[in-house]
Amino acid sequence: MILWTIQAIPDWEKLQKCGVLRLTNPDYSEETFLSAYRWMADQMKIRLRFKPSREMFPLWAWSQWEGEARRKPDLRSTGHLPKGNQGVRIEFEHPDDAVLLSDFELWHYALNYWYLPSSVADGEAFEAELAEQGLSFYESKPLPACAYHRRIQKSWERIFDLNWWEEDLVSPPAEKSIQGTFWGLRLNQVKDAKFFTAR
């Protein structure tokens, strides 16, 4: 499949020099999000054919940046990198079975340690159940009750169902922003590179 990843110039230079780009430390992630990144890495180990022999962290790319009509990230938009930083949008081809696709908007449930309900009613029922126990996933991260913690993490698996659509909760498939996580990028996979200054 064709994907696009946004990388800082030092990572581009590493790819040029070494012929491969991999992440073996979480320096690119804020500490508060580290558990979500580890959860995603665990999902990749379960769902992808390649299993890394040492601890690695995912690289991220876009399969569908803003719906089917705008698959490639628009470098005129903000948020790709910190403002003023030099970066590169790399277009590359990667084997389908070596990329884990997920819904970018729903990924924020994992990042924020929120329960991802199957419906609005499901979400209200789960929060009411927690309240009866004096618990809230908004106030305690992670929840001290293991059973509830597992239910929250299990709910995040819904981000991988790209056909799922629920009005008032999940965008239709054609409108989704779809991200891909993968273990490494090789220089010979690169099809194009566009340099830019982040806005």
pLDDT of residue 157: 98
Tell me, what's the pLDDT at 50?
84
pLDDT of residue 53: 74
Distance of alpha carbon 100 from alpha carbon 110, whole angstroms = 15
Whether omega for the bond prior to residue 142 falls within 30 degrees of 0, making it cis, is yes
The pLDDT score that the predictor gives to residue 101 is: 98
How far is residue 142 from each of residues 32, 109, 120, 156, measured CA to CA in Å? 11, 13, 22, 14
Average pLDDT by stretches of 10, the chain with 199 residues: 97 97 74 88 94 86 96 96 96 97 98 96 97 95 95 98 92 96 97 97
Give me the pLDDT at residue 2, please.
98
Q: What is the pTM of this model?
A: 0.94
8 Å CB contact between 27 and 35:
no
Domain spans of the chain?
Answer: 2-197
What is the per-residue pLDDT for 74? 97
Residue 160: per-residue pLDDT? 98
How many residues in total does the chain contain? 199
pLDDT at residue 54, as a whole number: 80
